[in-house]
Amino acid sequence: MSKTVLVPIADGVEEIETVSVIDVLRRAGAEVTVAATGDDLQVKASRGVNLVADQHIRDCANRTYDLIAIPGGMPGAENLRDSPELTSLLKKQKEEQRYHAAICAAPAVVFQSHGLISGKATCHPNFTEQLSNQEEVNSRVVVDGMCITSRGPGTALEFALKLVEILYDQEKMEEVAAPMLARL
């Protein structure tokens, strides 16, 4: 059974985090929708790489997703935080007890700002002081109920594989990781 995933993007998102999540989840067979929160489908990521979305976030409002995964990067996380459409989707996701994930600056800038973290989380070291719970801030990937968080570009592949394991199972995660030569 295919899982549905939304990956929103905005100017300034971190390339490695964005593409790793999209790529790994698609390798697992997930139906991944990349949605731009701005007016253009093409966004300029934090290191100047151009990314092209499948559709606008406003076109995602009436869909339900198994997972919404937020990339970090600055000012990308701020641009994602400031999207009313994305905020509504994320709040609905949490209320319906569906998975929501964020990496790098996004756990603090997006999730903490909108009250989407109710327990343990991690994020990029430059933003950990913004998290209300400091218990797991040094962990590479933290799963707390339906909320999954991670630290940054260096943990992006591990984060993406954890999302596969959560959406499917460990066997699927290992199946995706093996040909990528990823360490588990």
Task: Enumerate the active-site residues.
Answer: 104
CA distances from 32 to 6, 36, 48, 74 (A): 6, 13, 23, 23
Task: Classify residue 6 as exposed, middle or buried by CB count within 10 Å of its CB (0-12, 13-18, 19+).
Answer: buried
Say how many C-beta atoms besides its own lie within 10 A of residue 78's C-beta: 17
Type of residue at 48: G
β-bridge mates for residue 4, sequence order: 31
CA distance 65 to 148: 15
